[in-house]
Amino acid sequence: MTTRYGYPSNGGPSYDDDVERGVRRVDLTTGVSVSFEEWGDRSGQTVILLHAWAESLHSFDRLKSLLPNSFHLVAMDQRGHGDADKTVDGYDLESLASDVVAFMDAIGLSSAILAGSSSGGYVAQQVAVRNPARVVGLVLIGSPRSLRGRPTFADELALLTDPVDPVWARTFVRNFPLHHEVPQWYLDDRVSDAVRMPAEVWRSSLAGLTTSPAPIETGSISVPTLIIWGDRDDLLAEQDEQALAAEISGSRLLVYEGVGHLVLWEQPERLAADVAEFVYATVP
């Protein structure tokens, strides 16, 4: 196991709690190197934040300061995104979930609550299905029950070339309707995330997500789960979110009125309060 960035060979932490930490990298046993960032108290409940497709760990920059400092928050770049390795393959759901488990091993975490935005919640579901002992709870934020199928914009990605055009990336980012004001700097950062992904990663990562079996159709999820969905989501249907909630025993579906698919972008304050309440209720 890697000893970079202060982690000893047994995977346990060797740094103090409550220390300001920047973005670092860690090598995973799955063969990739990913970047991650931590906040809060490492002796508190760990919450791993999993970003959406075509984003990065920095998509949580507005949320992180709103969550209690008593939590141990960890955000990681998934392969192909942000500062993580841009591999040519490994974008199927099983591989992405394996990266999360390997990441937990690399930084010495036996278990955690997983909070995923959009497709990040899809990956979180896969981890919970395949490695239930590693998951304390799930927060699924605008996350699908299934991504099977070919989205209409796949044809557009087939024509994408390197370097990715920032004008195209900005148009792509703004194609998702917003029903609440989002700071311009945050939107600019999401455009930056988009242009850092090579064209082939855009295609491969989308194909991996949309051809993999839905996690809930391959196994069961029994950990406490909070599902958050905006009632103006034009990508995920309400009946699918209700079906997902019905298939996860004891889960709760929380509907945000007047909010679109990008719950994390539109409502970080409300989201932080609901995540905190869920964490406190799950791990008293």
Overall average pLDDT of the 26-48 stretch: 97
Please state, in angstroms and rounded to a whole number, the distance separating the CA atoms of residues 267 and 258.
10
Q: Above 90 in pLDDT, residue 4?
A: no
Dihedral over Cα of 201, 192, 97, 274: its sign: negative
Q: Residues 130-162: pLDDT tens digits?
A: 999 999 999 999 999 999 998 888 999 999 999
Q: What confidence score (pLDDT) does residue 21 get?
A: 58
Residue 104 reports pLDDT greater than 50: yes
Can you tell me the distance from the alpha carbon of 174 to that of 190, in angstroms, rounded to the nearest whole number? 10
Residue 101: the pLDDT is: 98
Q: Which domains does the chain have, with CATH numbers?
A: 4-282 (3.40.50.1820)
- 100: how many CB neighbours lie within 10 A of its CB? 28
Q: Which residues contact 45 (CB under 8 A, 6 or more apart)?
A: 71, 72, 113, 136, 279, 283
Determine the pLDDT at residue 11. 39
Q: What whole-number distance in Å separates Cα of residue 203 and Cα of residue 188? A: 22
- Residue 5's pLDDT is what? 30
* pLDDT the model gives residue 14: 34
Supply the pLDDT for residue 22: 84
Please say whether the beta carbons of 197 and 191 come within 8 A. no
Separation between Cα atoms, residue 123 and residue 117, nearest integer Å: 10
Specify whether the CB–CB gap between 174 and 182 falls below 8 A: no
| Close Cβ partners of 141 (under 8 Å, ≥ 6 residues apart) | 115, 116, 117, 118, 120, 121, 228, 263, 264, 271
Average pLDDT over residues 115-124: 98
pLDDT greater than 70 at residue 191: yes
Question: What are 60-90's pLDDT values in tens digits?
Answer: 999 999 999 999 999 999 999 999 999 999 9
pLDDT score of 167? 97
